[in-house]
Amino acid sequence: MSIILCYPFAQGKAEEQKRAMTFLDIIEMRSPGSRRNVDISPDGKWFIYTLTVPDWEKNKRFKDIYITPLSGGKTKQMTFTKDKNEDSPKWYKDSSFFAFLSNRSGNKNQIYFMRLEGDEAWQVTDDKFGVSSYEWSRDGKYLAYLGGKPDERQIWIMPGEGGEAEKLTDHKTSISEYLWTPNGKKIYFIASDSVDMLDKERKEKGFDVQIIDQVESPSHLWEIDIETKEEKRLTEGNEYSIWQIVISDDGTKIAFIGKSTKRFAVKYYDTDVYLLDLNTNTISRITNNSVDERPMSFSPDNKWLAFTIPDGEKEFINLRKIYIIPSEGGEVKKLLRHSNKTP
């Protein structure tokens, strides 16, 4: 009887506490990481991700790493570094440990390894200017990362399980993006054609005025052989500047985003998808519009390239649709044509 009497009271109290969500509620939410902050272990057992928590007293947000079993079960927090951040977790090929970036040893990101059991993480790089990104070769033999001054980034490699790092590239300009070939013998990278020396001098002297619509040199695609360190240029010209790259699993095709080199072009809209055939060294333009195409992905059988495009003009910029095209060339097809949801 007492339970029956208490229940309406409890229910009424809960209803009184309900209210509309406010902007402050949204700001205070813990937020999961983006695509670069999640990974599934190669053995298919674990999902690793980051959560960012706001700290109002410090006026900052701090990020930690969590793992959860894909079969269901309890989520486990892996890092607890106060006032520091952990970022970009990735699993090693045998799923026994993972790597991540953290500024826990200073104010610059370094690469750390941590075992699945949750033992203390250990630092594997000590770059004076910090590490901006890293990537294992698919066989796990090597770990590559971008290090050096922000405007002079170069690729370094080390053994996949840690060890002494060796500078791989000595390119004349800073490297912005890179990826391994599937066989782990080469690395493709993007670098600017030239350096604005006046702008570089301003930055070195601490001149922090932001220049709007600054003239930029085009960025293009290169490859480097891991053993010989020989570089080879793959694209050139002023038609576009390469922004993002993905490679097919058979290593024969590279898709990239080419953004306009016009000074007053809108960076995220004046872009198109291109396809580079590495066997014939021919480039095909896939799209021709003024919207933002990304992300891109090849199908596991290497037969298709998929990417998303906003549906319509700028008023529908957040409603994206999936498009596919045969990797050998052909008609672009729109999937989920009648859906009003973004995939």
Q: For position 212, what pLDDT does the model report? A: 78
**Token code pair at residue 102:** 């953290």
* Amino acid 8: pLDDT: 44
At residue 138, the 3 state secondary structure works out as coil
Dump pLDDT digits (tens) for 177-227. 999 999 999 999 999 999 887 777 887 888 877 777 777 899 999 999 999
- Locate tokens 């990797």: which residue? 327
Contact call for residues 99 and 112 (beta carbons, < 8 A): yes
Q: What is the pLDDT of residue 91?
A: 98
pLDDT of residue 4: 38
Residue type, 202: R
Residue pair 186/166 in contact (Cβ under 8 Å)? The answer is no
CA distance 70 to 318: 30
> What is the model's pTM?
0.86
309 neighbors 342 (Cβ within 8 angstroms): no
Give the model's pLDDT for residue 336: 75
- In a 13 Å sphere around the CA of 113, the CA atoms on its Cβ side amount to 15
The structural domains of the chain, ordered by start, are 19-123 (2.120.10.30)
Q: What is the pLDDT of residue 318?
A: 64
Q: Kindly state the helix (H) or strand (E) to which residue 143 belongs, with its residue range.
A: strand 142-147
What is the pLDDT at residue 267? 67
Give CA separation, 204 vs 18, 146, 151, 162, in Å. 54, 20, 10, 33
Residues of the chain under the 70 pLDDT cut: 1-16, 266-268, 312-318, 337-343
- The answer to whether 233 and 222 have CB atoms below 8 angstroms apart is yes
Alpha-carbon dihedral angle through residues 41, 178, 288, 234, given to the nearest 10 degrees: -140
